[in-house]
Structure 1
Amino acid sequence: MDTTQPTIALIGHGIMGEAILSGLIRDGLTPADHILAAGPRVDRGEELRDRYGIRPFTDNRAAAEQADVVILSVKPQRLDRVLENLRGHIQPDALIISIVAGASIEKIATQLGHSCIVRSMPNTPGQIGEGITVWVPSPSVNEEQKKTVRQILGALGQEIFVEEENYLDMATALSGTGPAYVFLFLEALIDAGVHLGFPRRIAEQLVLQTVSGSVDYYRRKKAHPAALRNEVTSPGGTSAEAIYYLEKAGFRTAISRAIWAAYERSQELGKDKPTGQLKENS
Protein backbone atom coordinates (compact mmCIF):
# COMPACT_ATOMS: atom_id res chain seq x y z
CA MET A 1 0.00 0.00 0.00
CA ASP A 2 2.85 2.39 0.71
CA THR A 3 3.96 2.43 -2.92
CA THR A 4 0.79 1.83 -4.92
CA GLN A 5 -1.62 3.94 -2.83
CA PRO A 6 -4.71 2.02 -3.91
CA THR A 7 -8.14 3.51 -4.25
CA ILE A 8 -10.39 2.08 -1.54
CA ALA A 9 -14.19 2.10 -1.79
CA LEU A 10 -16.26 1.72 1.37
CA ILE A 11 -19.71 0.42 0.55
CA GLY A 12 -21.56 1.57 3.63
CA HIS A 13 -20.23 4.55 5.57
CA GLY A 14 -21.74 3.96 8.99
CA ILE A 15 -19.90 3.66 12.29
CA MET A 16 -17.50 0.85 11.30
CA GLY A 17 -17.02 2.31 7.83
CA GLU A 18 -15.92 5.56 9.42
CA ALA A 19 -13.66 3.65 11.83
CA ILE A 20 -11.88 2.05 8.88
CA LEU A 21 -11.43 5.22 6.87
CA SER A 22 -10.28 7.24 9.87
CA GLY A 23 -7.79 4.51 10.77
CA LEU A 24 -6.40 4.42 7.24
CA ILE A 25 -5.92 8.18 7.26
CA ARG A 26 -4.55 8.24 10.82
CA ASP A 27 -1.95 5.59 10.01
CA GLY A 28 -1.06 7.23 6.68
CA LEU A 29 -1.83 4.08 4.71
CA THR A 30 -3.51 5.87 1.81
CA PRO A 31 -4.40 9.51 0.98
CA ALA A 32 -7.87 10.71 1.96
CA ASP A 33 -8.77 11.44 -1.66
CA HIS A 34 -8.12 7.76 -2.48
CA ILE A 35 -10.97 6.74 -0.16
CA LEU A 36 -14.44 6.61 -1.69
CA ALA A 37 -17.27 6.36 0.84
CA ALA A 38 -20.61 5.26 -0.61
CA GLY A 39 -23.98 5.34 1.11
CA PRO A 40 -27.56 6.50 0.55
CA ARG A 41 -27.42 9.59 2.81
CA VAL A 42 -26.02 12.71 1.13
CA ASP A 43 -25.61 14.51 4.45
CA ARG A 44 -23.58 11.65 5.93
CA GLY A 45 -21.25 11.63 2.92
CA GLU A 46 -20.75 15.38 3.14
CA GLU A 47 -20.06 15.08 6.87
CA LEU A 48 -17.29 12.54 6.24
CA ARG A 49 -15.89 14.61 3.38
CA ASP A 50 -15.69 17.72 5.59
CA ARG A 51 -14.19 15.75 8.49
CA TYR A 52 -11.63 13.63 6.65
CA GLY A 53 -11.33 14.88 3.08
CA ILE A 54 -12.60 11.64 1.52
CA ARG A 55 -14.73 11.47 -1.64
CA PRO A 56 -18.43 10.76 -0.94
CA PHE A 57 -20.76 8.82 -3.26
CA THR A 58 -24.43 7.93 -3.21
CA ASP A 59 -23.97 5.41 -6.04
CA ASN A 60 -22.28 2.18 -4.89
CA ARG A 61 -21.45 1.17 -8.46
CA ALA A 62 -19.69 4.44 -9.26
CA ALA A 63 -17.46 4.04 -6.20
CA ALA A 64 -16.73 0.33 -6.72
CA GLU A 65 -15.84 0.74 -10.41
CA GLN A 66 -12.93 3.01 -9.48
CA ALA A 67 -11.58 0.94 -6.58
CA ASP A 68 -8.66 -1.44 -6.16
CA VAL A 69 -10.10 -2.51 -2.80
CA VAL A 70 -13.83 -2.66 -2.07
CA ILE A 71 -14.87 -2.92 1.58
CA LEU A 72 -18.39 -4.16 2.28
CA SER A 73 -19.62 -2.61 5.52
CA VAL A 74 -23.41 -2.73 5.20
CA LYS A 75 -25.95 -4.38 7.48
CA PRO A 76 -26.51 -8.12 6.83
CA GLN A 77 -30.13 -7.47 5.90
CA ARG A 78 -29.07 -5.17 3.04
CA LEU A 79 -26.25 -7.31 1.69
CA ASP A 80 -28.18 -9.24 -0.98
CA ARG A 81 -29.47 -6.06 -2.57
CA VAL A 82 -26.02 -4.43 -2.45
CA LEU A 83 -24.28 -7.44 -4.00
CA GLU A 84 -26.86 -7.67 -6.78
CA ASN A 85 -26.32 -3.99 -7.53
CA LEU A 86 -22.52 -4.32 -7.58
CA ARG A 87 -22.35 -7.44 -9.77
CA GLY A 88 -20.41 -6.68 -12.95
CA HIS A 89 -19.11 -3.38 -11.57
CA ILE A 90 -16.03 -4.65 -9.72
CA GLN A 91 -12.60 -4.43 -11.35
CA PRO A 92 -11.37 -7.95 -12.30
CA ASP A 93 -8.28 -7.73 -10.07
CA ALA A 94 -9.96 -5.87 -7.19
CA LEU A 95 -9.83 -7.17 -3.62
CA ILE A 96 -13.12 -7.44 -1.73
CA ILE A 97 -13.05 -7.21 2.07
CA SER A 98 -16.30 -7.93 3.90
CA ILE A 99 -17.02 -7.04 7.52
CA VAL A 100 -20.65 -8.17 7.22
CA ALA A 101 -21.65 -10.55 10.03
CA GLY A 102 -22.64 -14.04 8.88
CA ALA A 103 -21.94 -13.47 5.17
CA SER A 104 -19.84 -16.36 3.84
CA ILE A 105 -17.14 -16.04 1.21
CA GLU A 106 -19.14 -18.35 -1.05
CA LYS A 107 -22.23 -16.17 -0.81
CA ILE A 108 -20.35 -12.97 -1.63
CA ALA A 109 -18.29 -14.56 -4.42
CA THR A 110 -21.29 -16.18 -6.08
CA GLN A 111 -23.52 -13.13 -5.95
CA LEU A 112 -20.77 -10.78 -7.11
CA GLY A 113 -19.31 -13.14 -9.71
CA HIS A 114 -15.90 -12.36 -8.20
CA SER A 115 -13.59 -14.73 -6.34
CA CYS A 116 -10.98 -12.54 -4.61
CA ILE A 117 -12.70 -12.18 -1.24
CA VAL A 118 -11.64 -11.67 2.36
CA ARG A 119 -14.16 -12.20 5.12
CA SER A 120 -13.42 -10.44 8.40
CA MET A 121 -14.99 -9.65 11.75
CA PRO A 122 -13.81 -6.47 13.53
CA ASN A 123 -15.28 -5.08 16.72
CA THR A 124 -16.38 -1.74 18.15
CA PRO A 125 -13.07 -0.70 19.83
CA GLY A 126 -11.66 -0.53 16.30
CA GLN A 127 -13.15 2.95 16.23
CA ILE A 128 -10.30 4.12 18.47
CA GLY A 129 -7.65 1.77 17.05
CA GLU A 130 -8.02 -0.68 19.96
CA GLY A 131 -10.09 -3.39 18.28
CA ILE A 132 -9.30 -6.89 17.12
CA THR A 133 -10.27 -8.39 13.77
CA VAL A 134 -10.28 -12.05 12.70
CA TRP A 135 -10.04 -12.60 8.94
CA VAL A 136 -9.87 -15.38 6.37
CA PRO A 137 -9.08 -15.12 2.62
CA SER A 138 -10.46 -17.03 -0.33
CA PRO A 139 -7.95 -19.14 -2.32
CA SER A 140 -7.68 -16.38 -4.95
CA VAL A 141 -6.20 -13.82 -2.56
CA ASN A 142 -2.45 -13.56 -3.22
CA GLU A 143 0.32 -12.72 -0.76
CA GLU A 144 0.53 -9.07 -1.75
CA GLN A 145 -3.20 -8.70 -1.20
CA LYS A 146 -2.90 -10.40 2.19
CA LYS A 147 -0.33 -7.78 3.12
CA THR A 148 -2.81 -5.09 2.10
CA VAL A 149 -5.50 -6.72 4.23
CA ARG A 150 -3.19 -6.76 7.26
CA GLN A 151 -2.51 -3.04 6.83
CA ILE A 152 -6.16 -2.10 6.40
CA LEU A 153 -7.42 -4.19 9.31
CA GLY A 154 -4.39 -3.24 11.38
CA ALA A 155 -5.65 0.34 11.27
CA LEU A 156 -8.44 -0.85 13.58
CA GLY A 157 -6.10 -2.49 16.11
CA GLN A 158 -4.88 -6.09 16.21
CA GLU A 159 -5.66 -8.56 13.43
CA ILE A 160 -5.65 -12.37 13.43
CA PHE A 161 -5.35 -14.42 10.23
CA VAL A 162 -7.10 -17.80 10.22
CA GLU A 163 -7.27 -20.48 7.55
CA GLU A 164 -10.72 -21.90 8.36
CA GLU A 165 -13.82 -19.83 7.68
CA ASN A 166 -15.84 -21.41 10.50
CA TYR A 167 -13.70 -19.40 12.93
CA LEU A 168 -15.42 -16.24 11.68
CA ASP A 169 -18.80 -17.18 13.16
CA MET A 170 -17.02 -17.99 16.41
CA ALA A 171 -15.22 -14.64 16.34
CA THR A 172 -18.52 -12.87 15.66
CA ALA A 173 -19.96 -14.37 18.85
CA LEU A 174 -16.89 -13.87 21.03
CA SER A 175 -15.01 -10.71 19.98
CA GLY A 176 -17.39 -9.11 17.48
CA THR A 177 -20.32 -9.14 19.90
CA GLY A 178 -18.04 -9.14 22.94
CA PRO A 179 -18.08 -5.38 23.60
CA ALA A 180 -21.85 -5.60 24.17
CA TYR A 181 -21.27 -8.12 26.98
CA VAL A 182 -18.59 -5.91 28.50
CA PHE A 183 -20.77 -2.79 28.34
CA LEU A 184 -23.66 -4.64 29.94
CA PHE A 185 -21.35 -5.85 32.72
CA LEU A 186 -20.08 -2.28 33.25
CA GLU A 187 -23.64 -0.99 33.35
CA ALA A 188 -24.64 -3.61 35.91
CA LEU A 189 -21.64 -2.83 38.16
CA ILE A 190 -22.25 0.92 37.98
CA ASP A 191 -25.95 0.52 38.74
CA ALA A 192 -25.07 -1.72 41.67
CA GLY A 193 -22.76 0.98 42.99
CA VAL A 194 -25.51 3.57 42.71
CA HIS A 195 -27.88 1.16 44.49
CA LEU A 196 -25.36 0.92 47.35
CA GLY A 197 -25.40 4.70 47.67
CA PHE A 198 -22.54 6.05 45.57
CA PRO A 199 -23.13 9.08 43.33
CA ARG A 200 -23.15 7.81 39.72
CA ARG A 201 -19.96 9.66 38.77
CA ILE A 202 -18.05 7.98 41.62
CA ALA A 203 -19.53 4.56 40.82
CA GLU A 204 -18.46 4.99 37.17
CA GLN A 205 -14.92 5.97 38.16
CA LEU A 206 -14.59 3.05 40.55
CA VAL A 207 -15.91 0.52 38.03
CA LEU A 208 -13.98 1.75 34.98
CA GLN A 209 -10.64 1.82 36.79
CA THR A 210 -11.30 -1.54 38.45
CA VAL A 211 -12.06 -3.19 35.11
CA SER A 212 -9.25 -1.57 33.11
CA GLY A 213 -6.77 -2.11 35.95
CA SER A 214 -7.77 -5.77 36.23
CA VAL A 215 -7.21 -6.30 32.50
CA ASP A 216 -3.78 -4.64 32.68
CA TYR A 217 -2.91 -6.73 35.74
CA TYR A 218 -3.90 -9.92 33.91
CA ARG A 219 -1.71 -8.98 30.94
CA ARG A 220 1.32 -8.30 33.11
CA LYS A 221 1.00 -11.31 35.39
CA LYS A 222 0.29 -13.72 32.50
CA ALA A 223 -1.34 -16.16 34.91
CA HIS A 224 -4.55 -18.13 34.49
CA PRO A 225 -7.61 -16.00 35.38
CA ALA A 226 -8.57 -18.55 38.03
CA ALA A 227 -5.22 -18.04 39.76
CA LEU A 228 -5.67 -14.27 39.78
CA ARG A 229 -9.21 -14.63 41.09
CA ASN A 230 -7.90 -16.80 43.93
CA GLU A 231 -5.43 -14.03 44.85
CA VAL A 232 -8.30 -11.74 45.79
CA THR A 233 -10.62 -14.39 47.23
CA SER A 234 -9.88 -14.88 50.92
CA PRO A 235 -11.65 -17.77 52.67
CA GLY A 236 -14.89 -16.54 54.16
CA GLY A 237 -14.30 -13.03 52.77
CA THR A 238 -16.37 -10.63 50.71
CA SER A 239 -15.05 -11.89 47.36
CA ALA A 240 -15.80 -15.50 48.28
CA GLU A 241 -19.35 -14.53 49.24
CA ALA A 242 -19.91 -12.59 46.01
CA ILE A 243 -18.47 -15.32 43.79
CA TYR A 244 -20.54 -17.98 45.55
CA TYR A 245 -23.66 -16.02 44.71
CA LEU A 246 -22.59 -15.48 41.07
CA GLU A 247 -21.89 -19.18 40.61
CA LYS A 248 -25.19 -20.11 42.29
CA ALA A 249 -26.99 -17.70 39.92
CA GLY A 250 -25.42 -19.41 36.91
CA PHE A 251 -23.09 -16.56 35.92
CA ARG A 252 -20.72 -18.73 33.83
CA THR A 253 -23.55 -20.66 32.24
CA ALA A 254 -25.38 -17.48 31.28
CA ILE A 255 -22.29 -16.09 29.56
CA SER A 256 -21.58 -19.35 27.77
CA ARG A 257 -25.17 -19.67 26.57
CA ALA A 258 -25.28 -16.04 25.44
CA ILE A 259 -22.14 -16.48 23.33
CA TRP A 260 -23.48 -19.74 21.90
CA ALA A 261 -26.74 -17.96 20.99
CA ALA A 262 -24.75 -15.25 19.19
CA TYR A 263 -22.77 -17.95 17.36
CA GLU A 264 -25.96 -19.68 16.21
CA ARG A 265 -27.40 -16.35 15.07
CA SER A 266 -24.26 -15.64 13.05
CA GLN A 267 -24.68 -18.99 11.33
CA GLU A 268 -28.34 -18.26 10.64
CA LEU A 269 -27.43 -14.98 8.96
CA GLY A 270 -25.22 -16.90 6.54
CA LYS A 271 -27.65 -19.70 5.70
CA ASP A 272 -29.38 -17.87 2.86
CA LYS A 273 -26.49 -18.25 0.45
CA PRO A 274 -26.39 -19.32 -3.18
CA THR A 275 -24.72 -22.59 -4.03
CA GLY A 276 -21.74 -22.67 -6.36
CA GLN A 277 -18.05 -23.36 -6.55
CA LEU A 278 -15.46 -20.79 -5.58
CA LYS A 279 -12.72 -20.87 -8.19
CA GLU A 280 -9.25 -19.47 -8.40
CA ASN A 281 -8.56 -16.53 -10.69
CA SER A 282 -6.95 -17.70 -13.88
Structure 2
Amino acid sequence: MRNLAFVGGGMMAEAIIRGVVTKKLLPASVIAVGEPVPARREALVSRYGVQAFAGNVDAVEGADVVVLAVKPQYADEAMAGLTGRLPSSALVVSIMAGITIERIARAVGHRSIVRVMPNTPAQYGEGMSAWTATAEVSEEQADDVRSLLSALGRQVNVASEKYIDMATALSGSGPGFVLLFIEALVDAGVHLGFSRPIAEELAIQTVLGTAVMARESGQHLAILRNAVTSPAGTTAAGLYELENGRLRAVVSKAVAAAYARCIELGK
Protein backbone atom coordinates (compact mmCIF):
# COMPACT_ATOMS: atom_id res chain seq x y z
CA MET A 1 0.00 0.00 0.00
CA ARG A 2 1.66 3.18 -1.24
CA ASN A 3 -1.23 5.61 -0.94
CA LEU A 4 -4.69 5.73 0.54
CA ALA A 5 -7.90 7.55 -0.39
CA PHE A 6 -11.17 8.08 1.44
CA VAL A 7 -14.60 8.73 0.01
CA GLY A 8 -16.12 10.57 2.96
CA GLY A 9 -14.29 12.25 5.81
CA GLY A 10 -16.51 11.50 8.80
CA MET A 11 -15.63 10.21 12.25
CA MET A 12 -14.76 6.65 11.22
CA ALA A 13 -12.63 7.83 8.31
CA GLU A 14 -10.84 10.14 10.73
CA ALA A 15 -10.28 7.24 13.14
CA ILE A 16 -8.55 5.27 10.38
CA ILE A 17 -6.49 8.28 9.33
CA ARG A 18 -5.45 8.91 12.93
CA GLY A 19 -4.41 5.28 13.40
CA VAL A 20 -2.49 5.12 10.12
CA VAL A 21 -0.64 8.39 10.77
CA THR A 22 0.02 7.72 14.48
CA LYS A 23 1.37 4.23 13.82
CA LYS A 24 3.36 5.50 10.83
CA LEU A 25 1.85 3.02 8.39
CA LEU A 26 1.83 5.77 5.76
CA PRO A 27 2.90 9.42 5.71
CA ALA A 28 0.01 11.90 5.77
CA SER A 29 1.15 13.30 2.42
CA VAL A 30 -0.05 10.17 0.56
CA ILE A 31 -3.50 10.13 2.18
CA ALA A 32 -6.32 11.86 0.29
CA VAL A 33 -9.89 12.50 1.41
CA GLY A 34 -12.97 13.40 -0.63
CA GLU A 35 -15.28 15.36 1.67
CA PRO A 36 -17.99 17.84 0.59
CA VAL A 37 -18.16 19.79 3.87
CA PRO A 38 -15.48 22.53 3.94
CA ALA A 39 -15.18 22.56 7.73
CA ARG A 40 -14.43 18.82 7.79
CA ARG A 41 -11.83 19.16 5.04
CA GLU A 42 -10.13 21.97 6.93
CA ALA A 43 -10.19 19.97 10.18
CA LEU A 44 -8.60 16.89 8.61
CA VAL A 45 -5.88 18.91 6.90
CA SER A 46 -5.16 20.85 10.09
CA ARG A 47 -5.06 17.81 12.39
CA TYR A 48 -3.24 15.29 10.21
CA GLY A 49 -1.74 17.03 7.19
CA VAL A 50 -3.64 14.92 4.66
CA GLN A 51 -4.82 16.11 1.27
CA ALA A 52 -8.53 16.97 1.14
CA PHE A 53 -10.73 17.52 -1.89
CA ALA A 54 -14.33 18.60 -2.38
CA GLY A 55 -14.78 15.90 -5.02
CA ASN A 56 -14.27 12.17 -4.64
CA VAL A 57 -12.80 11.68 -8.11
CA ASP A 58 -9.84 13.92 -7.29
CA ALA A 59 -9.28 12.05 -4.03
CA VAL A 60 -9.19 8.55 -5.52
CA GLU A 61 -6.96 9.33 -8.50
CA GLY A 62 -4.01 6.93 -8.48
CA ALA A 63 -4.93 5.39 -5.12
CA ASP A 64 -3.87 1.85 -4.18
CA VAL A 65 -6.58 1.55 -1.54
CA VAL A 66 -9.90 3.41 -1.63
CA VAL A 67 -11.99 3.43 1.55
CA LEU A 68 -15.72 4.02 1.09
CA ALA A 69 -16.65 5.79 4.30
CA VAL A 70 -19.96 7.54 3.65
CA LYS A 71 -23.19 6.88 5.53
CA PRO A 72 -25.35 4.15 3.95
CA GLN A 73 -28.05 6.60 2.86
CA TYR A 74 -25.47 8.43 0.71
CA ALA A 75 -23.84 5.30 -0.69
CA ASP A 76 -25.50 5.21 -4.11
CA GLU A 77 -24.75 8.85 -4.84
CA ALA A 78 -21.12 8.53 -3.76
CA MET A 79 -20.50 5.29 -5.66
CA ALA A 80 -22.17 6.52 -8.86
CA GLY A 81 -19.51 9.19 -9.18
CA LEU A 82 -16.73 6.58 -9.03
CA THR A 83 -17.88 4.38 -11.92
CA GLY A 84 -14.92 3.88 -14.25
CA ARG A 85 -12.76 6.23 -12.17
CA LEU A 86 -10.92 3.76 -9.94
CA PRO A 87 -7.46 2.50 -10.88
CA SER A 88 -7.77 -1.08 -12.17
CA SER A 89 -5.34 -2.34 -9.53
CA ALA A 90 -7.00 -0.51 -6.63
CA LEU A 91 -8.49 -2.24 -3.62
CA VAL A 92 -11.89 -0.96 -2.52
CA VAL A 93 -12.51 -1.16 1.23
CA SER A 94 -16.07 -0.43 2.35
CA ILE A 95 -16.98 0.47 5.92
CA MET A 96 -20.56 1.33 4.92
CA ALA A 97 -23.01 -0.53 7.16
CA GLY A 98 -25.42 -2.83 5.36
CA ILE A 99 -24.14 -2.18 1.82
CA THR A 100 -23.36 -5.50 0.14
CA ILE A 101 -20.27 -6.31 -1.90
CA GLU A 102 -22.41 -7.07 -4.94
CA ARG A 103 -24.10 -3.69 -4.69
CA ILE A 104 -20.71 -1.98 -4.49
CA ALA A 105 -19.33 -4.00 -7.42
CA ARG A 106 -22.29 -3.09 -9.63
CA ALA A 107 -22.07 0.58 -8.70
CA VAL A 108 -18.33 1.14 -9.16
CA GLY A 109 -17.57 -1.51 -11.80
CA HIS A 110 -14.81 -3.05 -9.70
CA ARG A 111 -14.31 -6.52 -8.18
CA SER A 112 -11.39 -6.22 -5.74
CA ILE A 113 -13.50 -5.38 -2.71
CA VAL A 114 -13.23 -5.82 1.03
CA ARG A 115 -16.24 -5.18 3.23
CA VAL A 116 -15.47 -4.19 6.81
CA MET A 117 -17.58 -3.69 9.91
CA PRO A 118 -15.61 -1.56 12.38
CA ASN A 119 -17.05 -0.04 15.54
CA THR A 120 -16.83 3.30 17.30
CA PRO A 121 -14.16 2.38 19.90
CA ALA A 122 -11.83 2.45 16.88
CA GLN A 123 -11.71 6.21 17.48
CA TYR A 124 -9.62 5.40 20.56
CA GLY A 125 -7.58 2.54 19.10
CA GLU A 126 -9.73 -0.09 20.83
CA GLY A 127 -12.01 -1.04 17.96
CA MET A 128 -13.14 -4.44 16.73
CA SER A 129 -13.36 -4.92 12.97
CA ALA A 130 -14.67 -7.91 11.04
CA TRP A 131 -13.90 -8.13 7.33
CA THR A 132 -14.32 -10.34 4.29
CA ALA A 133 -12.89 -10.14 0.79
CA THR A 134 -13.81 -11.11 -2.76
CA ALA A 135 -11.78 -13.76 -4.58
CA GLU A 136 -10.11 -11.01 -6.63
CA VAL A 137 -8.35 -9.58 -3.56
CA SER A 138 -4.69 -10.65 -3.51
CA GLU A 139 -2.88 -11.85 -0.40
CA GLU A 140 -0.77 -8.69 -0.50
CA GLN A 141 -3.93 -6.59 -0.49
CA ALA A 142 -5.35 -8.69 2.35
CA ASP A 143 -2.19 -7.94 4.34
CA ASP A 144 -2.76 -4.23 3.67
CA VAL A 145 -6.26 -4.59 5.12
CA ARG A 146 -4.91 -6.32 8.23
CA SER A 147 -2.40 -3.51 8.74
CA LEU A 148 -5.03 -0.84 8.17
CA LEU A 149 -7.51 -2.35 10.61
CA SER A 150 -4.88 -3.17 13.23
CA ALA A 151 -4.35 0.59 13.47
CA LEU A 152 -7.90 0.76 14.85
CA GLY A 153 -7.64 -2.06 17.40
CA ARG A 154 -8.34 -5.73 16.70
CA GLN A 155 -9.49 -7.34 13.47
CA VAL A 156 -10.84 -10.70 12.36
CA ASN A 157 -11.25 -12.09 8.85
CA VAL A 158 -14.55 -13.94 8.35
CA ALA A 159 -15.33 -16.50 5.67
CA SER A 160 -18.28 -14.84 3.97
CA GLU A 161 -20.34 -11.69 3.83
CA LYS A 162 -23.18 -13.07 5.94
CA TYR A 163 -20.89 -12.80 8.96
CA ILE A 164 -20.38 -9.08 8.30
CA ASP A 165 -24.09 -8.50 8.77
CA MET A 166 -23.91 -10.51 11.98
CA ALA A 167 -20.91 -8.49 13.15
CA THR A 168 -22.80 -5.29 12.36
CA ALA A 169 -25.42 -6.36 14.90
CA LEU A 170 -23.00 -7.73 17.50
CA SER A 171 -19.82 -5.66 17.52
CA GLY A 172 -21.05 -2.75 15.40
CA SER A 173 -24.16 -2.02 17.46
CA GLY A 174 -22.66 -3.60 20.59
CA PRO A 175 -21.10 -0.38 21.93
CA GLY A 176 -24.56 1.17 22.10
CA PHE A 177 -25.84 -1.80 24.08
CA VAL A 178 -22.86 -1.74 26.45
CA LEU A 179 -23.20 2.01 26.97
CA LEU A 180 -26.85 1.56 27.93
CA PHE A 181 -25.81 -1.08 30.47
CA ILE A 182 -23.17 1.28 31.88
CA GLU A 183 -25.80 4.02 32.12
CA ALA A 184 -28.04 1.63 34.03
CA LEU A 185 -25.20 0.81 36.45
CA VAL A 186 -24.53 4.51 36.98
CA ASP A 187 -28.21 5.25 37.61
CA ALA A 188 -28.36 2.37 40.09
CA GLY A 189 -25.34 3.80 41.90
CA VAL A 190 -26.95 7.24 42.06
CA HIS A 191 -30.11 5.62 43.39
CA LEU A 192 -28.04 4.09 46.19
CA GLY A 193 -26.59 7.48 47.10
CA PHE A 194 -23.39 8.02 45.11
CA SER A 195 -22.83 11.29 43.30
CA ARG A 196 -23.10 10.82 39.53
CA PRO A 197 -19.38 11.46 38.84
CA ILE A 198 -18.33 8.82 41.38
CA ALA A 199 -20.96 6.36 40.11
CA GLU A 200 -19.69 6.90 36.55
CA GLU A 201 -16.08 6.31 37.60
CA LEU A 202 -17.02 3.11 39.42
CA ALA A 203 -19.23 1.77 36.62
CA ILE A 204 -16.97 2.61 33.66
CA GLN A 205 -13.82 1.21 35.24
CA THR A 206 -15.69 -1.91 36.37
CA VAL A 207 -16.86 -2.63 32.81
CA LEU A 208 -13.46 -1.78 31.33
CA GLY A 209 -11.55 -3.90 33.84
CA THR A 210 -13.93 -6.82 33.48
CA ALA A 211 -13.57 -6.75 29.69
CA VAL A 212 -9.77 -6.81 30.01
CA MET A 213 -9.99 -9.68 32.51
CA ALA A 214 -12.27 -11.63 30.17
CA ARG A 215 -9.92 -11.14 27.22
CA GLU A 216 -6.62 -11.71 28.98
CA SER A 217 -7.53 -14.61 31.28
CA GLY A 218 -8.49 -16.99 28.48
CA GLN A 219 -11.09 -18.57 30.76
CA HIS A 220 -14.72 -19.25 29.92
CA LEU A 221 -16.93 -16.31 30.86
CA ALA A 222 -19.09 -18.49 33.10
CA ILE A 223 -16.02 -19.59 35.08
CA LEU A 224 -15.00 -15.97 35.64
CA ARG A 225 -18.54 -15.08 36.69
CA ASN A 226 -18.75 -18.01 39.09
CA ALA A 227 -15.46 -16.94 40.66
CA VAL A 228 -17.03 -13.67 41.83
CA THR A 229 -20.36 -15.23 42.84
CA SER A 230 -20.26 -16.49 46.42
CA PRO A 231 -23.16 -18.66 47.64
CA ALA A 232 -25.88 -16.45 49.12
CA GLY A 233 -23.66 -13.43 48.46
CA THR A 234 -24.32 -9.97 47.04
CA THR A 235 -23.40 -10.85 43.46
CA ALA A 236 -25.62 -13.95 43.57
CA ALA A 237 -28.55 -11.82 44.72
CA GLY A 238 -28.04 -9.33 41.90
CA LEU A 239 -27.55 -12.01 39.25
CA TYR A 240 -30.77 -13.69 40.35
CA GLU A 241 -32.66 -10.48 39.54
CA LEU A 242 -30.94 -10.11 36.16
CA GLU A 243 -31.80 -13.69 35.22
CA ASN A 244 -35.33 -13.27 36.54
CA GLY A 245 -35.66 -10.19 34.33
CA ARG A 246 -34.61 -12.29 31.31
CA LEU A 247 -31.49 -10.25 30.58
CA ARG A 248 -30.08 -12.87 28.21
CA ALA A 249 -33.30 -13.02 26.19
CA VAL A 250 -33.57 -9.23 25.97
CA VAL A 251 -29.96 -8.91 24.77
CA SER A 252 -30.52 -11.66 22.20
CA LYS A 253 -33.63 -9.88 20.91
CA ALA A 254 -31.73 -6.59 20.69
CA VAL A 255 -28.95 -8.15 18.60
CA ALA A 256 -31.51 -9.93 16.41
CA ALA A 257 -33.35 -6.63 15.82
CA ALA A 258 -30.10 -4.92 14.85
CA TYR A 259 -29.31 -7.77 12.46
CA ALA A 260 -32.74 -7.55 10.82
CA ARG A 261 -32.30 -3.81 10.32
CA CYS A 262 -28.87 -4.37 8.77
CA ILE A 263 -30.34 -6.80 6.24
CA GLU A 264 -33.09 -4.29 5.47
CA LEU A 265 -30.56 -1.51 4.82
CA GLY A 266 -28.69 -3.73 2.38
CA LYS A 267 -31.68 -4.27 0.09
Query: What range is the shorter-chain TM-score in?
Result: over 0.9
Q: Distance in 2 between matches of 1:79 and 1:145?
A: 23
Q: Does 1:85 align with 2:81?
A: yes
Judge which range, 59-68 or 11-20, deviates more: 59-68
Please tell me the residue identity of whatever aligns with 1:106.
E
Q: For residues 232-266 of structure 1, give each alpha carbon's deviation from its aligned partner in whole angstroms, at most 9, with x where no partner exists.
A: 22222222221111111111101000001111111
154, 157, 171: which one aligns with 1:175:
171
Q: Distance in 2 between matches of 1:227 and 1:143?
A: 39
SS of the equivalent of 1:103 reads: coil
Going from structure 1 to structure 2, the CA distance change for 1:220 and 1:158 (only over 3 Å counts) comes to closer
Q: Which runs of 5+ in 1 are unaligned?
A: 272-282
Please tell me the residue identity of whatever aligns with 2:106.
T
CA shift at 1:161, angstroms? 1.1
Q: For residues 162-196 of structure 1, give each alpha carbon's deviation from its aligned partner in whole angstroms, at most 9, with x where no partner exists.
A: 22111100111111111111111111111111111
107, 118, 137: which one aligns with 1:122:
118
Going from structure 1 to structure 2, the CA distance change for 1:220 and 1:41 (only over 3 Å counts) comes to closer
246, 250, 255: which one aligns with 1:259:
255
> What residue is the counterpart of 2:44 in the other structure?
48
Q: Give the aligned length.
A: 267
Name the Cα RMSD after superposition.
Answer: 1.2
> What residue is the counterpart of 2:106 in the other structure?
110
Judge which range, 100-109 or 156-165, deviates more: 156-165
SS of the equivalent of 2:46 reads: helix
Q: Does 1:186 align with 2:182?
A: yes
> What residue is the counterpart of 2:94 in the other structure?
98
Please tell me the residue identity of whatever aligns with 2:131.
W
Please tell me the residue identity of whatever aligns with 1:259.
V
Q: Distance in 2 between matches of 1:228 and 1:151?
A: 32
Q: Distance in 2 between matches of 1:74 and 1:216?
A: 32
Q: Distance in 2 between matches of 1:161 and 1:67?
A: 23
Q: Which runs of 5+ in 2 are unaligned?
A: none
SS of the equivalent of 2:81 reads: helix
Q: Distance in 2 between matches of 1:243 and 1:128?
A: 31
16, 24, 33: which one aligns with 1:20:
16
4+ runs deviating over 3 angstroms = none
Please tell me the residue identity of whatever aligns with 2:228.
V
Q: Distance in 2 between matches of 1:76 and 1:152?
A: 21
Judge which range, 241-250 or 98-107, deviates more: 241-250
Structure with greater contact order relative to length (CA < 8 Å, sep ≥ 6)? 1
Please tell me the residue identity of whatever aligns with 1:98.
S
Q: Distance in 1 between matches of 2:53 and 2:254?
A: 38
SS of the equivalent of 1:86 reads: coil
Q: Distance in 2 between matches of 1:223 and 1:203?
A: 28
Q: TM-score, normalised by structure 1?
A: 0.91
